[in-house]
Structure 1
């Protein structure tokens, strides 16, 4: 009887031990060759929080990484992933980000690949909503935080030490880091001269390395399993069209899909907020995106990319002007953000496609905060100019 009772448990332990002890190289050998191509539009959080797939992508010149947040999931026909596939642009956008993926999370991700960023072109889409007065919070940080990236930062010797210390001090304010006794000990040892803390870090280092190796193996298994394909609105109607023709096409689609409100918001989204709209009028009086801890978090990204020798294009998208006016959000509170973030980027010598003058363009935004049909047309042109080394990235497209 005992054999019958305990044999499943023993079998499970043997299998688990086998999974842990399989050499990483063996797992890598059976990861499908097309996994990177599949992952380009999956927006799979396991990929964001790992490193194997992104390492392969960054080593492949066919891919142009595009970093952002929830707007990346709006895969209409003008979305860069769809537009550049249909027009056979010679490169494939690789999407990295989801809702709540703000500067600090992107910094951790970039730090994972510092040695692969030299001379690498990449696109980074900024959202004004990141720059809240209190900065990113636990609800946005926790679901997007990667333990693997957190531990790798602790052992990363390639990042500028002063930059690393700044990042660690900020990371220690969030629960997944400060409540991890091993990682927080390693981090605290980086920013203190206290000998006792440094001794504790020495004792914790072997445990940290073992745990990190398990996280690396976990990432490989997730890479082997893959994610799921998203629905994409691929359309041949974008082929062989001028930018003006694409903007007109975007106008027509936006007008057809945004008929139940005067904010130029897509019907399906407006239906979700319709009952609340009257109560939201003038509720944002005195608000501003001009002052936020997010600027310091964003500076971490700028410093890392500059030190690594990366070649980024930043896309500064606007808010929906009609909606923000309705809620009473002052124009000054928006302009202060646009001007400050643009100056911050240009101070580091990086390129920025600044679309802040398009707050009131119909269908530039798809809803109250996410980039829409015409917005993607502008973005596509900026990306194409950037990729082809065209000097002008501040795009002007006139549809009327």
Structure 2
């Protein structure tokens, strides 16, 4: 009797595993609800960022405009693009892609994976100064954000420039998350060293694994996302840009009156001790030199070859707070100049907010755009998309 109880769960597990492996992906795709894309647009669900199915569907749909960014995307208020455009009945829906720790290298891999779907696609890419630290993206921020599926697909991707592909592989191989994946690391190594026999031996198991990861992505797609507690409000409906700026000023003033540096009071109270400790601690720092510039260059290369239409958004820092920490103004200005030059060299469009460092309520804390900053972005997005 005990053996029956013992083998029952094992047999069930084998049946479930066989179902997972052998159910055709086309069958699973037919089960995806019609409203799944709409439901995922503002969910900020990591499984979507690291997958391919939903993003592929979104890029093929002219009603969606992807916004690639990082942690600022989850800073909700009435002026956030997701609320503003929905409330005002826009013809398009922002589709948010990114979370804390998402930097150029993560976006590079994602955009490379979907390069065949980017031609003529309008998109917004928010670029943050704090990405450009001297050491570049560290393992702590890379590992939770990178996609194994997208990484395995890279060697078989013929839609990006060969040199860009190789540079991106070499960059990815510097991270432990890739080094510790033996099959992926050896696949890259064989590709980069043109070891054809080794590459041929690894291709079959790699493609089988890709197939399994794609099915996993589809299974996650069948599950509804837990929706974030985003701020939905019609207070921003049918307002002029001047009225919205005044409204954002009042909104921000109310939420920063008990703090310093025009930081949201709830953030200031939580970080108060840390902020006190940071006085003068960033003397001599700079965003002028970073591996991030090369990562950003790869993004530009991918978008240019794909004939995408991006609007880059150059986010400032909170000037009052950065001055307090001793972070030199020159170390910020060098970043603004360098990043604008890179974008200019490719002929892409950008919204430059670097002169808003000291504009109250443009930033909601030390590094995240909010309130008045969102109003500027909403206006620039609307002009760009028209």
Residue 339 (structure 1) aligned to one of 337, 340, 350: 337
Partner of 1:4: 5
Asked whether the equivalents of residues 191 and 199 of structure 2 are also in contact (C-alpha less than 8 Å), the reply is no
What corresponds to 1:62 in structure 2? Answer: 63
Moved more, 306-315 or 6-15: 6-15
- Partner residue, 1:276: 274
Deviation for aligned residue 1:262: 2.7
SS at structure 2 position matched to 1:249: helix
In the alignment, the residues of structure 1 paired with residue 68 and residue 330 of structure 2 have an alpha-carbon distance, to the nearest angstrom, of 27
Residue 351 of structure 1: aligned partner:
349
Structure 1 unaligned segments of length 5 or more: list them. 389-400
**How many matched pairs?**
385
- Point out the more displaced range, 174-183 or 296-305: 174-183
Deviation, structure 1 residue 25:
1.2
Secondary structure of 2:123's partner? strand
Q: Could you tell me how far apart the structure 2 residues matched to 1:64 and 1:173 are?
A: 32
Deviations 1:162-188 (CA, angstroms, capped at 9, x unpaired): 111111111110112122121112211
Cα deviation per residue 1:236-266 (whole Å; 9 max; x = unaligned)?
Answer: 2211211111000000010000012230000
Q: Which runs of 4+ in 1 moved over 4 A?
A: none
1:245 aligned to 2:231?
no
**SS, match of residue 211 in structure 1:** helix
Q: Please tell me whether residue 217 in structure 1 is matched to residue 215 in structure 2.
A: yes
**Quick check: 2:260–2:268 contact (8 Å CA) kept in 1?**
no
Instruction: State how far apart, in whole Å, the 1-side matches of 2:107 and 2:238 are.
Output: 35
Query: 1:393 corresponds to which residue?
Result: none
Alignment correspondent of 2:111: 110
- Within 2, Cα distance between the matches of 1:198 and 1:174? 24
Counterpart of 1:181? 182
Superposed, which structure 2 residues align to 1:363-374 within 5 Å? 363-374=361-372
Q: Which residue of 2 aligns with 1:266?
A: 264
Work out the CA distance in 2 between the residues paired with 1:63 and 1:338.
29
Corresponding residue number in structure 1 for 2:92: 91
Matches within 5 A, 1:224-239: 224-239=222-237
Taking structure 1 as the reference length, the TM-score comes to: 0.95
Q: Please, what TM-score do these two structures have when normalized by structure 2?
A: 0.98
Deviation at 1:3, TM superposition (A): 2.8
Distance 2:26 2:223 in 1: 16
CA distance in 1, matches of 2:206, 2:20: 20
Distance 1:13 1:180 in 2: 25
**Alpha-carbon deviation of 1:335?**
0.1
Aligned to 1:164: 165
Q: Using the TM superposition, name which of 200-209 and 142-151 deviates more.
A: 200-209
Residues 137-158 of structure 1: CA distance to partner in whole angstroms, max 9, x if unpaired?
A: 1011000011000011121112
Which consecutive unaligned segments of at least 5 residues does structure 2 have?
none
